[in-house]
Structure 1
């Protein structure tokens, strides 16, 4: 398993044996207007869904650096600082690899929001998210973000990548392992 993974601190024995692929997810926040920047995914995994900005962590970078890089590549924003708010694990039926997603917020960024080949960014009220156009799990953990409650969550999906068959969401005091 990738030595940057924190699965050993969170996963049960059965799922710890699975290979884990590391991902990031960053949500730029405008605290003055209580808005969050989402991107409509234009291609690839998650196409036609709104999401935060992120992707695979490269072998030569820290998870946090990967989050900052992905945000810049997909939105044009350069985060000066990101704050980890959650940790997500996804298991898809018939897929032997788990997704380990490190979730961040940032309100400390510069640059201009731009549309990229991968994402079409749009600001939304943080308490009126377009959940009907997002991943099925987002509406389940986003309320914890609004309450500033750190969390870990695990979601099991059918192979349709839409239907959640099981979930566990746990509030935590810290995401430092």
Structure 2
């Protein structure tokens, strides 16, 4: 079955759901989570979530890490933005961060189970399809801006811009 790619007016596109993701990297490993509920339940990803009204993306990503894993990332660095035109949930505008230090002990919660993963063993087969496009480059220190069209959990189209820093 071939799915038709819907037209997206990216010039006027606005993600109804502002969100964040965090990737803590230390000693050749990245801290991922197995998501236990909400969007992406059952998938592996970085901790993160919806930005609350009045909250900055940086404030949100720290709060989400505290809620999901009981850690506080220190000195988060914004690495990129992801724009998702989705078929079955509101469109998402996600701000992606990295950190190399944190306080606390990564702890399983009702939201997530922490998974320290070797950088060369990332379980892409358990992640959203778009992660294959940008995650390795970001973990290598490259900043980016990406646009993606999804039909359900299937990526139909993407455009990725690696930015000089």
TM-score surpassing 0.5?
yes
The count of corresponding residues between Structure 1 and Structure 2 is: 157
Instruction: Report the equivalent of 1:7.
Output: none
Instruction: Report the equivalent of 1:28.
Output: 24
Question: In structure 2, do the counterparts of structure 1 residues 80 and 118 end up closer, same or farther at CA, with 3 Å as the change threshold?
Answer: same
- How do 1:122-161 residues align onto structure 2 when only pairs under 5 Å count? 122-158=115-151, 160-161=152-153
Question: In structure 2, do the counterparts of structure 1 residues 74 and 102 end up closer, same or farther at CA, with 3 Å as the change threshold?
Answer: same
Q: Secondary structure at the match of 2:105?
A: coil
| Alignment gaps of 5+ in structure 1 | 1-12
Q: Any runs of at least 4 consecutive aligned residues in structure 1 with deviations exceeding 6 A, and if so which? A: none
Q: Secondary structure at the match of 1:127?
A: helix
Q: Normalised by the size of structure 2, how large is the TM-score?
A: 0.89
1:166 aligns with 2:157: yes
- How do 1:7-156 residues align onto structure 2 when only pairs under 5 Å count? 14-20=9-15, 21-30=17-26, 32=27, 34-93=28-87, 97-156=90-149
| Alignment gaps of 5+ in structure 2 | 1-7
User: What displacement does 1:16 show?
Assistant: 4.3
**8 Å CA contact retained: 1:76, 1:113:** yes
**8 Å CA contact retained: 1:18, 1:98:** no
Residues 25-51 of structure 1 show CA distances to partners (whole Å, capped at 9, x for unaligned) of 001111x2x000111011121011000
**8 Å CA contact retained: 1:28, 1:36:** yes
Q: Normalised by the size of structure 1, how large is the TM-score?
A: 0.83
Higher strand share: 2
User: What displacement does 1:146 show?
Assistant: 3.1
